[in-house]
A and B are shown apart, each in its own frame.
Chain A
Amino acid sequence: MGAAGIPAGQSGLGKSTMVNTLFKSKVSRKASQPSQEERIPKTVQLQSITHVIEEKGVKMKLTVTDTPGFGDQINNENCWDPIIKYINEQYEKYLREEILITRKRKIPDTRVHGCVYFVPPTGHWLRPLDLEFMRRLSKIVNVVPVIAKADTLTLEERAEFKRRIQEDLKTHAISVYPQEDFDQDPDDRVLNDRIREKIPFAVVGADQEHQVNGKRVLGRKTKWGIIEVENPAHCEFPLLRDLLIRSHLQDLKDITHNVHYESYRVRRLNESNGPALSPLNGLPGKGEGGSDL
């Protein structure tokens, strides 16, 4: 049993640290580390790391593909292309396996089940770049937006920012996970409504441990206090973790398989005019980038 996720967003928003926090372990890097504190250098290419985690007695393989930050340049048009390309490549891989005459019983699944989009904590509204990125991504993958580095917002600012983001998403018809359209029954709806009220989760990432009240906790130490990452009174990281790994993991996979993958498959088969695919040049369908999405 396995699942795959991708964090996405501008440079320096704590994506790599968040991946570490999720696994409570270190992503191996090419650069050498300074001795004292493990500093996270800038991610420059897509890096996948797989871990076996255990949840309720069930062992699970979780793969996270860390991405370099996008949106740093002066002209950021099309900065979303590399991630979209990566996601479609995974669908393509699965499709090829699926249409083989003699195919494997268990098709290796590297498809992306969730994309966590990091929104910078400006406190204002979503920026044009955020809107554009999420709009395109949400059409091909489950997008879970989070407010990154939320330790810069007071609780009131957080609530106000969330309200504005929710409004923005609704105004621009961007459908983020959990999507209302896919609620299966009234119970589902109630559960998901409660989550939808809290999206985007305000998270803080940390891979350092500190001593607080006799316990060792993951957190950030500052002159005015220690921000405990796993303390729900401080930040919503536990909510994110539970959603992704515990409560909604199967749902994320189901929607990916039944909705996003199927859309991709239909598009591809329509393009090639028939079930037998001709050898491609590696890139997924030409029309996926802009027009029919």
Chain B
Amino acid sequence: MVVGESGLGKSTLINSLFLTDLYPERIIPGAAEKIERTVQIEASTVEIEERGVKLRLTVVDTPGYGDAINCRDCFKTIISYIDEQFERYLHDESGLNRRHIIDNRVHCCFYFISPFGHGLKPLDVEFMKAIHNKVNIVPVIAKADTLSLKERERLKKRILDEIEEHGIKIYHLPDAESDEDEDFKEQTRLLKASIPFCVVGSNQLIEAKGKKVRGRLYPWGVVEVENTEHNDFLKLRTMLITHMQDLQEVTQDLHYENFRSERLKRGGRKIEDEEVNKDQILLEKEAELRRMQEMIARMQAQMQMQMQSGEGDSSAVHGHHV
């Protein structure tokens, strides 16, 4: 899932990561359309191949987030979406045929932080706290070419401090196993130290130093997307591919289990509801039956009394038909 204000470079980054154009017919909406719009959820699927392994990724975009003047309700839609996927999985898991469960749960949320600010904004903090127990959060700073290296370091540190200060739980890369080779251990150390990633996205090929590279051309130079000295794009990509499995596992073992136990404690509406209803209906029907039986008995008693008292009074018998 990709979440962040408009214009932070989300779509460009996604397209760069997967070397594709997920939004070929995209029209960027103007402010007039944004004023009344609520947050939307748009899911697109892409297949990528990395080192012989085919991956099918669903990218969930959230246009409209953070656009309104008053953003108080803007993350309700997103949280509902995440919960819905958990709900569906829970339902499938409790069903009879469990062999072909489709896992549509959100395994990772890239949260885009603005590179123009002084750190996290109140909306950033509120949103991340609302979802950190539901999904793995990976904070990302896009449009990193607006920051010098010193400014980047400062911003990263500032953001990490604020994350800790507010008790926000972001996704932590697992440490490399002791039996892995040194290169992998070093790579993991570097990745961990670079969070949040400061990235630049682009699918345009620019000529730089005699070869064609993906980058952005400015009058003062070329920013190369895949140059580690320019930005953390390659690190982000490596993290995503290498730790895809861990992201799924953490979602399953931590976030989903959290959701499941909460749900079932509340008395799981969908799964146990029907049985509860049936019992209730039976009880009600029995009560009604009893009431009707009582009424008939009363009427019969009445009739008896009238027949006994009205022996010689024909009109009285006439008047009372039961």
Contacts and interface: CB of A to CB of B under 8 A. Distances in A.
Interface in A105-146: 120-132
Contacts of B224: 224
A226 B219 CA distance: 10
A75 B31 contact: no
Contact of A72 (B117, B126, B148, B149): B117
Contacts, number: 117
Nearest to A12: B117
Listed residue (A42, A76, A124, A149) with the most chain B CB atoms within 10 angstroms of its CB: A124
A155 interface: yes
A37 interface: yes
A215 interface: no
Contacts of B114: 12, 120
Interface stretch (B66-74, B252-260, B272-280): B66-74
Contacts of A164: 30
A225 B70 contact: no
Give the size range of A's interface with the partner: 35 or more
Interface in B91-138: 114-118, 121-123, 126
Contacts of B68: 128
B7 A124 contact: yes
Given A75-B70, A124-B7, A124-B28, A37 B149 contact: no
B220 A234 contact: yes
A92 interface: no
Interface in A66-88: 72-77
Contact of A39 (B29, B154, B217): B154
B122 A151 contact: no
Interface in A192-228: 220-228
Given A75-B70, A148-B116, A221 B148 contact: yes
A50 interface: no
Contacts of A149: 116, 146
Contacts of A234: 219-220
B70 to A, nearest CB: 5
Contacts of B148: 220-222
Nearest to B71: A74
B31 A154 contact: no
A223 B219 contact: no
Contacts of A125: 28-31
Nearest to A161: B7
Contacts of B169: none
B150 interface: yes
Nearest to A37: B150
A168 interface: yes
A227 B220 contact: yes
B72 A75 contact: yes
14 contacts: A73-B123, A76-B71, A77-B70, A121-B116, A128-B67, A128-B69, A148-B116, A151-B220, A168-B31, A222-B220, A223-B229, A224-B220, A225-B220, A233-B219
Given A74-B70, A222-B221, A224-B220, 19 more contacts: A10-B116, A39-B154, A42-B118, A73-B123, A120-B7, A125-B28, A128-B31, A128-B67, A129-B69, A130-B31, A151-B220, A152-B143, A154-B217, A168-B30, A224-B223, A224-B230, A225-B218, A228-B220, A234-B219
